[in-house]
């Protein structure tokens, strides 16, 4: 079946630094990927829709200069948290629509836990 891989799964960084999280579709091409943020004991919040070859579409309230999304190829989207601060600590998850499903089935990555010191 379709597999989405996220890397790194855990990352700790100092305040003020930038962190890049990768989301790869391993055995299919994904023209659209989605980035979510999950706060402890809460549901997933859609941050942005990543479109291959074009600018990402950000949800209301998400700072596009803070959370840079690049979808450079049909199998890779990256989320860069710039000038990270402790309040950016969270669980970030990506997903992609599985091909041929005809039902908009989303395949999720395993998530990346970011801790900003």
**Contacting positions for another protein (CB under 8 A):** 4, 6, 34, 41-44, 46, 91, 93, 95, 102-111, 113
Nearer to another protein, 11 or 106 (CB): 106
Nearer to another protein, 36 or 67 (CB): 36
> Rounded distance, CA 95 to CA 103, Å?
15
- In the complex, the smallest distance separating the C-beta of residue 109 from another protein, rounded to whole angstroms, is 5
- In the complex, the smallest distance separating the C-beta of residue 91 from another protein, rounded to whole angstroms, is 8
- In the complex, the smallest distance separating the C-beta of residue 104 from another protein, rounded to whole angstroms, is 5
Nearer to another protein, 30 or 109 (CB): 109
Nearer to another protein, 6 or 50 (CB): 6
SS3 14: coil
- In the complex, the smallest distance separating the C-beta of residue 16 from another protein, rounded to whole angstroms, is 26
The β-bridge partners of 112 are: 92
- Give DSSP secondary structure letters for 40-109: TTS-EEEEEEEETTSPPEEPTT--TTTEEEEEEETTEEEEEE-S--GGG-EEEEEEEEPTT-SS--EEE-
CB 5 within 8 A of CB 108: no
């Amino acid at each position: 079946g379709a597999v989405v891989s996220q890397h790194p799964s855990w990352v700790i960084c100092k305040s003020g630094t930038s962190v890049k999280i990768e989301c790869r579709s391993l055995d299919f091409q994904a023209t659209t990927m989605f980035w979510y943020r999950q706060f402890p004991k809460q549901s997933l919040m859609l941050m942005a829709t990543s479109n291959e070859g074009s600018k990402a579409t950000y949800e209301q309230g998400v700072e596009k200069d803070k959370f840079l999304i690049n979808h450079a190829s049909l199998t890779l989207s990256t989320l860069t948290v710039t000038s990270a601060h402790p309040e950016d600590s969270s669980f970030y998850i990506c997903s992609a629509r599985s091909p041929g499903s005809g039902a908009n089935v989303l395949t999720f990555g395993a998530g990346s836990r970011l801790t900003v010191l």
